[in-house]
Amino acid sequence: MSVRIADTTAGAVGTIAIDLAAVASNWRALAAKVRPASCGAVIKADAYGVGAERVIPTLVEAGCGTFFIATPDEAEETRRLAPAAAIYALDGVAGAADLYARTQIWPVLSTPDEIESWSRSASALGRRLPAALHIDTGLNRLGLPVRETRRLAGDPSALAAIDLALLISHLACADNPRDPKNRDQLVAFETLSALFPGVPRSLAASDGLMLGPDYCFDLVRPGYALYGGQASETSPAPVRPALVVRARILAVADVTPGETVGYAATWRAKRPTRIATIAAGYADGVPRHASAPDGRPGGHVVIAGALAPIVGRVSMDLITVDVTDLPADLVRPGQFATLIGDGLTLEDVGRVSGTIGYEILTRLGRRFERVYVQDGV
Ligand SMILES: *Cc1c(COP(=O)(O)O)cnc(C)c1O
């Protein structure tokens, strides 16, 4: 995918070019893969930083009818952009019962207190309110513990005011298909969800849906894979990268052997070296650990199709890369370096920085201009 840089705002450090056609086709490919289960979309955190404003209508248009947000501040926008969709709030009621009842967004309930509180809201309105129930099957994060789940199933009056629309649980180790915990959680989910017969079920996110049809139940909940992220370590999802991140080259300069580059003088030139300084730093989401002064392999950028290693410390607004081996005429101030894309995946960037592609994606800063393109225009 290429983007017309001429279209970008002069003031931005660079661009995130988002291919909405790729997002749509990724969703369709996942939906086809999991059929007869249906495919929702997790669009929390401003659609993973990609921009809910554009991503949600794209997914609605592609046929997605179920969305998951995390927090109340995501409610109004999601309802406005997906007026007819089922929308669930993963963080539960979160003090926003009135907002959720008004916008018809259904909390994913995780505690007896929340069940009570949502029931009170329903009673106050004089009608039953839909909700999802999160059952904890071993992640020990959110979710009703096993004992509480059994108690709830044995006491139908506790759910009298609630229209139970969905049962969910979340997998801890689905990125590794060989981890035995996957099957343990599957069995626990089957057993516990059977206590609520007839209620639709959802277990898998981007990685879980690659574990096979047993894990897909009625609905899957991918987020990361919609943008081309590969959540599973060994089972590639049928998706393609949907974004390219580029930043401006501000300066190109030569340093002589023995000179150092960057804060704390951690990197020293061993040969005559040409350094390109690029207008993105940790304030823009380039991890500080992407530089490798201690000799371990560090991060790269792509300039004119070639890899250039990040050298010296990543600073707040800038990175410095070694472009000595690139043709000089291809590396000039005003040109753009690719930080993600052109062969560098989110996973690559996460790995060299000691993190995961999810963190890289969701922390891309506001100083990048988001540019929306259709099919690589
Ligand atoms: C964030 C989240 C998802 C989506 O996960 P991906 O790995 O991005 O597909 C699904 N379910 C729950 C409960 C989540 O918190």
What pLDDT, in 10s, does the model give residues 152-202? 999 989 999 999 999 999 999 999 999 999 999 999 999 999 999 999 999
Q: How far is residue 257's CA from residue 241's CA, in Å, rounded to a whole number? A: 39
Three-state DSSP class for 219?
strand
Distance 345 CA to ligand 1 centre (A): 20
**What is the number of the ligand 1 atom nearest to the C-alpha of 358?**
8
Ligand 1 pocket test, candidate residues 39, 68, 74, 219, most atoms within 8 A of CB: 68
Distance 254 CA to ligand 1 centre (A): 46
Between β-strands 162-168 and 129-134, what pairing exists: parallel, antiparallel or unpaired? parallel
DSSP-derived letter for residue 221 is -
What is the sign, positive or negative, of the torsion defined by CA atoms of 360, 361, 363, 365?
Answer: positive
Chain-centre distance of CA 139, in angstroms?
A: 19
Q: How confident is the model at residue 96 (pLDDT cuts 50, 70, 90)?
A: very high
* Window from 2-16, 174-188, 236-250, 363-377 with minimum mean pLDDT: 2-16
Q: Give the pLDDT of residue 178.
A: 97
pLDDT at 1 over 80: no
Is 48 a residue of the active site?
A: no
Q: Give the pLDDT of residue 295.
A: 63
Instruction: Pick the residue whose CA is nearest to atom 15 on ligand 1.
Output: 90
pLDDT at 327 over 90: yes
Q: How far is residue 234's CA from residue 256's CA, in Å, rounded to a whole number? A: 44
Condensed to tens digits (0 to 9), the pLDDT of residues 57-79 reads 999 999 999 999 999 999 999 99
**Residue 261 burial (C-beta neighbours within 10 Å; 0-12, 13-18, 19+):** buried
Instruction: Pick the residue whose CA is nearest to atom 13 on ligand 1.
Output: 170
Under 8 Å between Cβ of 319 and 289 = no
**Residue 173 burial (C-beta neighbours within 10 Å; 0-12, 13-18, 19+):** middle
Token pair in block for residue 181: 């915990």
Q: Which of 33, 88, 181, 263 is catalytic?
A: 263
Percent of the chain with pLDDT over 90: 92
**What is the number of the ligand 1 atom nearest to the C-alpha of 168?**
13
CB under 8 Å to 13, separation ≥6 — which residues?
A: 247, 248, 279, 280, 284, 317, 365, 367, 368
Q: Give the pLDDT of residue 27.
A: 98
Helix axes 20-34, 52-62, angle to 10 degrees: 50
Q: Give the pLDDT of residue 157.
A: 94
End-to-end CA distance of the chain: 7
Three-state DSSP class for 309?
strand
Ligand 1 pocket test, candidate residues 209, 221, 359, most atoms within 8 A of CB: 221
**What is the number of the ligand 1 atom nearest to the C-alpha of 221?**
10
Candidates 231, 246, 248; CA nearest to 346 is 231
**Residue 16 burial (C-beta neighbours within 10 Å; 0-12, 13-18, 19+):** buried
Q: How confident is the model at residue 8 (pLDDT cuts 50, 70, 90)?
A: low
Could you check whether the bond before residue 36 is cis, i.e. omega within 30 degrees of 0? yes
Token pair in block for residue 221: 């909940």
Distance 152 CA to ligand 1 centre (A): 25
pLDDT at 11 over 90: no
Under 8 Å between Cβ of 65 and 38 = yes
Percent of the chain with pLDDT over 70: 95
Q: Mean pLDDT throughout 114-135?
A: 97
Ligand 1 pocket test, candidate residues 50, 55, 71, 90, most atoms within 8 A of CB: 90
Q: How far is residue 366's CA from residue 377's CA, in Å, rounded to a whole number? A: 23
Residues with CB under 6 A from ligand 1: 42, 44, 90, 170, 205-207, 221-225, 231
Q: Give the pLDDT of residue 294.
A: 64
Q: Mean pLDDT throughout 199-220?
A: 98
Between β-strands 38-39 and 162-168, what pairing exists: parallel, antiparallel or unpaired? unpaired
Under 8 Å between Cβ of 106 and 100 = yes
Q: Give the pLDDT of residue 217.
A: 98
Q: How confident is the model at residue 296 (pLDDT cuts 50, 70, 90)?
A: low
Between β-strands 243-255 and 14-19, what pairing exists: parallel, antiparallel or unpaired? antiparallel
Residues in the chain, how many?
377
Distance 39 CA to ligand 1 centre (A): 13
Which pTM value belongs to this model? 0.95
Q: How far is residue 155's CA from residue 277's CA, in Å, rounded to a whole number? A: 64
Q: Mean pLDDT throughout 93-106?
A: 97
Is 33 a residue of the active site?
A: no
Helix (H) or strand (E) holding 288: none
Q: Which of 44, 88, 227, 358 is catalytic?
A: 44
**What is the number of the ligand 1 atom nearest to the C-alpha of 231?**
7
Distance 170 CA to ligand 1 centre (A): 8
- CA-derived radius of gyration, the chain: 24
Virtual CA dihedral for 358, 361, 363, 367, nearest 10 degrees? 180
Q: Give the pLDDT of residue 39.
A: 98
pLDDT at 9 over 70: no
**What is the number of the ligand 1 atom nearest to the C-alpha of 134?**
13
Token pair in block for residue 23: 């997002």
CB under 8 Å to 103, separation ≥6 — which residues?
A: 75, 76, 79, 87
pLDDT at 101 over 70: yes
* Window from 123-132, 164-173, 196-205, 284-293 with minimum mean pLDDT: 284-293
Q: Mean pLDDT throughout 229-253?
A: 96
Distance 124 CA to ligand 1 centre (A): 32
pLDDT at 2 over 60: no
Computed over every residue of the chain, the mean pLDDT equals 95
